[in-house]
Each structure stands twice: as structure tokens, then as C-alpha cells.
Amino acid sequence: KLSRRSFRHWITAEHRALLVADCANAVAAYILIIYHPGTRLARIYSLAVAHQHRGMGIAKQLILAGEQAAHDDGRLYLRLEVSVDNTPAIKLYESLGYQKFGIYRDYYQDHKDALRYQKRIRYYSDTLQHRSVHWLKQTTHFTCGPAALMMAMHGLNRAYQPSQEEEINIWREATTIFMTSGHGGCHPIGLALAAKRRNFAVEVWINQTSILFIDGVRNEDKKQIVELVDTGFKRQAEQQNIEVHYTNITQNELINAFKAGAIPLILISTFLMDRKKAPHWVVMSGFDDDCLYMHDSDPDERRQSELDCQFIPIAREDFDRMSCFGKNRLRTAVVIWPEADKP
């Protein structure tokens, strides 16, 4: 149940549906559904029915109305969490077609676990293929690349153990040093070299041969450093026999690699999510006929839980726009393989 302060916030907030059930000019119940920008995902954030109105089927009516609102907004999936011991709610969700797809340990303040449910609200597709990729949260604002790489490496080899020290070490190995402001992010070839050092096979796709990310740096001295780093990474990749394909990687190539046992890291622009046009690394965690699914290591703590950043559905028609960055329309991916499985 929402606090009064939180309820007031959501009345005027964007990217949401807030539906209220009225009974004799009084609020009997409400449902709040959050839409995640740049994705086809919606989430039931809060659902509450006044005590005196329970047992009248109001919750079911609100959920169905919420599904229609999310459907009309173009969402494909509606997700929710429910306590493992909330049997009446679980029965209601399952009767409405919600399917359990995971569990989140120690989710509530009383340390109870949460069951994770989702429902395909446009039409059902049973073609989803996914990989058991353990989600990680990046611990700094500039280490999305290392977090994505650690998720991929752990997904391919459970013996590999991520840690914050490892996250920072990978960043030091792969960083461009500078960006528009603050610390630099990670170069795709830098991430590939880091994976190679950890005994994973790797391929890189970059759709241009120019110096990456140099347009985001204004100072000439910093530009020289970015160019030096880019040149060094490319030379090391050649020495390490890492395949670098200077061409666009297609959705079919990403899917074929995933089906063959690899886990791709993909650079996206965050513009469709937060309007900030920042480069951001995510890891591919599944696909179906309509969507590619991503793990994003950087939840927006104002409106997202960690659950919202796992298996994020990106519609096929949206993916190509999201997976290019900057005025030069950089498109790049790093495909990580178990050493023995690379074709």
C-alpha cells in the first residue's frame, strides 16, 4: 500500500496508469501500474482494496482494467511480485493467467521471499528462449560495462565469481579514460581483452573504424588520450587474435550467437529510457519472436526495483533505434563464448 506522500507523487507522475475504484463517492481500491520508458514492460507497483470492500471482486476488476490500460499503451508484458505466503493473491493472479517466472529472496521488510509473475497482455508467445544469467547491480555510475561482462562470464561459467574488486579491475583494463564528464566508460575491445584474459573466447562487432567516443570529449589533450587508448586496444586485439568485425551486427546474428551458447554484451543509448543520450552496456538474457531481453545493471532507484532491470523486453522494432549511439550512430557488441564452444 502506498503512503499518502507517495500517492500524491504518482497522481501527477508520468509513465504510469493509476486507476481508482469508486464506491458511493469514496475510494474503495486502486491499482498503480508503472511503464518503463524505452521498453515494452509494465509492472503492477501497488494494488490495495479497503478492508470493508474486500471479497467483492474489485481487485480482479482493477487488474483487468490495468491490463487494458497497459495494452493500450503498447506494453507486451505486465509483471508483479507477491509474497510467498499471500495465498489468496497468488490464486487470483494465477486465475487471471499470470505465470510464475522466478523468486526473489529476502524481498520484503519482514525478509519474506517474493514470487515473480508475468503475463503477456497483447498475445501469448511460447517462443521465449532465455539463459540463466544472474543479475548484478553496478556499484558505480561508470561501471556498466564491467557489470555486464561479469554477468555474462558468470552465466557461462558458474565457477567465475563476480565481485566489486573484479568490477573495478575490469574497468581499469577496459576504460576509455575520459568521457563527456567524469570517468570514462568502457571500450568494446577493452571489454573483449578483459574477457580473453579470463579465459573466455570473444568476438567484437563495431560498425566503424574511427576512434570511438572521441566526439564526446571536448578538450584536445583528452582527445589525444582517448585516441591513444583506442589505438592500443586495437593493436592488443590483433596480437591476441581477437576477431573484430567492422560491420553492423544484426538481430539475427545476436540471436544465432545466443542460441549457439554465447552471451552478447550490447551498447545502447539510454535516450528512450531517460532522455539523456548516454552510452550504456547491457547483457542479452533471452529472445522470442517479438522481443530481445536484456539485463540492465543500473536501476533508476526513483522508480525501478532490481526486478525491473531483469529480462527487460525490447521490441524488435525498437531495438535497432536503441542499439545505436551518438551522431555517428555507433553500433557495437561484444559476444562472449565459453572457450570450448566458440564456432
Mean pLDDT of the chain: 89
Domains present along the chain, CATH in parentheses: 4-124 (3.40.630.30), 144-338 (3.90.70.10)
d(C-alpha 300, C-alpha 37), whole Å: 11
In this prediction the pTM is 0.74
Q: Which tens digit of pLDDT belongs to each residue from 37-95?
A: 778 889 999 999 999 999 999 999 999 999 999 999 888 889 999 999 999 999 999 99
Q: Which tens digit of pLDDT belongs to each residue from 6-44?
A: 888 888 888 899 999 998 888 899 999 999 877 888 999
Written as nine digits, the cell of 317 is 522494432
pLDDT exceeds cutoff 80 at 204: yes
Treating both helix axes as pointing N-terminal to C-terminal, what angle do 144-156 and 188-197 enclose, rounded to 10 degrees? Answer: 40
Give the Å distances, CA to CA, from 140 to 67, 265, 296, 297: 36, 18, 14, 10
Q: How confident is the model at residue 173 (pLDDT cuts 50, 70, 90)?
A: very high
Residue 74 DSSP SS3: coil
Residue 132 DSSP SS3: coil
Q: Which tens digit of pLDDT belongs to each residue from 288-311?
A: 888 899 999 998 766 666 777 888
Longest dimension (CA), the chain: 76
Q: Which helix (H) or strand (E) holds 201?
A: strand 200-206
CA atoms within a 13 Å half-sphere pointing along the CA-CB vector of 341 = 14
Q: Which tens digit of pLDDT belongs to each residue from 94-145?
A: 999 998 888 888 888 888 899 999 898 875 455 667 778 899 999 999 999 9
Residue with cell 546474428: 253
